[in-house]
Amino acid sequence: MNKLLVITVLVALLALSAESFRVPRQAEEEQGTLTKITDSVRSYYDYVVNSASEYIESIKGLKLEEKAKNLYSDTTTAVSTYSGILHDQMYHIFYQ
């Protein structure tokens, strides 16, 4: 008898829960065309913004900015060395 009562209560709760899930679906059907278009554009915009944010975070994770700074400093050091050598050579060619 107790099992039957428990099962009846659970089925009743499930039925009430299922009924509450139907309410939002009916509300969605009553939306106008402009609201549907606005919602779809807004969801697409949110998706694009989230994708861009994830992409930027993944780039920051690679530490590309630090690598670019190191590459720049190494390149400027090498170029300044070779330009100094070239400057000395040109000076000695013109002013012996």
Q: Compute the C-alpha angle 79/85/86, nearest 5°.
A: 85
> Among 18-22, 37-41, 81-85, 88-92, which is the least confidently predicted range?
18-22
Measured CA to CA, the distance from residue 34 to residue 31 in angstroms comes to 8
- Whether pLDDT at 46 is above 80: yes
The mean of the pLDDT values for the chain is 80
For the whole model, what pTM was predicted? Answer: 0.38
Please say if the pLDDT value at position 62 is more than 60. Answer: yes
Amino acid 5: pLDDT: 75
